[in-house]
Structure 1
Amino acid sequence: MKTVKSKDGTVLAYDVHGSGPALVYITGAICFRSFKPILQDVKEFAKEFTVYSYDRRGRGDSGDTAPYSIEREVEDLEAMIDAAGGKANLYGHSSGAVLALEAALRLGDKVNKVVMYDPPYVHDQAGKLTYGQLSQKVHKLLDDGKNKEAMRTFLKGIGMPGMFVWLLPLFPGWKTMVALAPTLAYDIALTQDLPPVERAARVTVPTQIIVGEKSPAGIHDVANQLTTAIPNARFEKIAGQDHMVSAKVLLPVLSRFLKQ
């Protein structure tokens, strides 16, 4: 494990795997660098890239500093890019894709290229209203210290089948998920608004937006909006994949775009 300090003093834990162009992997909600699916992704990506896999603030071995803001998470990314040599490619999955876009807008030539997979902004006003109601419920539960209920409420609210949510406490990783519940507020802050198409039009970093063929229709809509807004953005839909994309299937897509 390596560490680096963000601008506000938060210590970020990260690992480095593989060789090739530097790639900072930005995970989504309830994920951290030693989570088994993330380890599997990194093992695959490391075949083509030097992968910087880090714990976002409040997760795993990283620290946290209140109050939270999106700007602080972008500063975390800047610290990771500096650790990677001062310039890197970014791959963001889910809410991590939102952070990748923010970094493209704010960090200029420190970002080489950006890949976003399934960026989960709300796609229309009706979705924003529904998500806002979910956000209020989750925040209230977190404020009351009811982390288990907050996690269940969030997962059901974003469409996870009720039976699966009910069975989650039987899984070995449930306690870890509950410990990560406070960071749900961070992911909600990242994803509670419509795609920032006006700001996205100012992106100058080469950008690729990817969705899974089986991912929700709202995510496809968001991807289309961003692809239209970002100058020269590339779009790709991966057949047979959903929100939890196979790294083995994704890697050739990443390599084609990032290594050309």
Structure 2
Amino acid sequence: MTDLRTTTSRDGTRLAYDVHGSGPALVYVTGATCFRRFWPIVQDSKAFAKAFTVYTYDRRGRGDSDDGLPWSVEREVDDIEAVIDAAGGTASVYGHSSGAVLALEASLRLPHKIAKTVLYDAAYVHDAAEKADYERLAQQVRELLAGGDDTAALKTFLRGIGMPGAFTALLPLVPGWRTMKALAPTIAYDLALTRDLPPLAKAQSVTVPTQVIVGQKSPPGLHVVARQLAGAIPHAELVELAGQGHLVSARRLLPVLCES
């Protein structure tokens, strides 16, 4: 593992990042409850590093990065820009889940710095009923966070988005649990990112080459979102990745990322 590297976002927030591999630059934007040295992210990065120079970073408030407040989508896009600049000024951007929401926002604002955008299981709500359910979940999580019960907030969020209860019960035994628990307050950021329907009108303005990918076994709502985004983004490629769910195999995803 490389020594700690940092870059600074537009508002002065210090961001920690790691670099793996060689080849074209790829910035990896992670989803909720992830940080750059969480074991699954490290394994993904090593797989992607067979074809890319992979830049994984701790989103603000996570891991070794600062939590510059107030939070906003715009500031998270500034963070992506800072990592792209650290990578030399241009890069492809791969976003997973809520990270895909940020990747799409970055492609709208930073088209001159992004060579290609890859959106995997972009985690917008897909209809009004899901939006209402999601808002109830968000309210529960916000109340738990406000009360200082980060463990309950984290477990409630993960169960609410479909993680089996047995798995969430075992989370305290997982390596990296202490760091994962410490970033519980950032769940509020991801809830804000994914609470709305996909911004199809804005997506029509994307000029960056885009792949919209959804796992064959991912929830039906994510398939709806993927089709909507691919239909709105000019010339986007829609890919259903056979045999994969929301927790995608980086080895299976890599050949798709390598497509021009």
User: Could you tell me the TM-score, scaled by structure 1's length?
Assistant: 0.97
- Shift of the 41–171 alpha-carbon distance from structure 1 to 2, 3 Å rule, reads closer
Instruction: Note if 1:45 corresponds to 2:48.
Output: yes
Q: 2:107 aligns with which of 104, 109, 113?
A: 104
Paired with 2:84 and 2:179, the residues of 1 have a C-alpha distance of: 27
Aligned ranges for residues 7-22 of structure 1 at < 5 Å? Answer: 7-22=10-25
Instruction: Note if 1:62 corresponds to 2:65.
Output: yes
- Deviating beyond 3 angstroms after TM superposition, the runs of 4 or more aligned structure 1 residues are 170-173
Paired with 2:20 and 2:192, the residues of 1 have a C-alpha distance of: 30
Instruction: Note if 1:236 corresponds to 2:239.
Output: yes
CA displacement 1:146-167 (0-9 Å, x = unmatched): 1011011101111111222223
Instruction: Note if 1:92 corresponds to 2:95.
Output: yes
Give the drift of 1:86.
1.0
Aligned ranges for residues 126-205 of structure 1 at < 5 Å? Answer: 126-205=129-208
CA displacement 1:186-222 (0-9 Å, x = unmatched): 1111100000001001101110011111000000110
Aligned to 2:224: 221
Q: Any conservation in 1 of the 2:17–2:58 contact (CA below 8 Å)?
A: yes
Aligned to 2:30: 27
Paired with 1:147 and 1:25, the residues of 2 have a C-alpha distance of: 26
CA displacement 1:71-114 (0-9 Å, x = unmatched): 10000001111111111100001111000000001112111110
Amino acid at match of 2:101: V
Paired with 1:93 and 1:84, the residues of 2 have a C-alpha distance of: 19
Give the drift of 1:63.
0.7
Q: Any conservation in 1 of the 2:150–2:181 contact (CA below 8 Å)?
A: yes
Q: 1:209 aligns with which of 212, 227, 231?
A: 212
Instruction: Note if 1:124 corresponds to 2:112.
Output: no
Paired with 1:106 and 1:171, the residues of 2 have a C-alpha distance of: 37
Q: How many residues align?
A: 257
State the identity as a percent.
Answer: 65
CA displacement 1:36-55 (0-9 Å, x = unmatched): 11111111111101111111
Paired with 1:171 and 1:113, the residues of 2 have a C-alpha distance of: 34
Amino acid at match of 1:213: Q
Amino acid at match of 2:140: K
User: Could you tell me the TM-score, scaled by structure 2's length?
Assistant: 0.97
Give the drift of 1:143.
1.0
Aligned to 2:254: 251
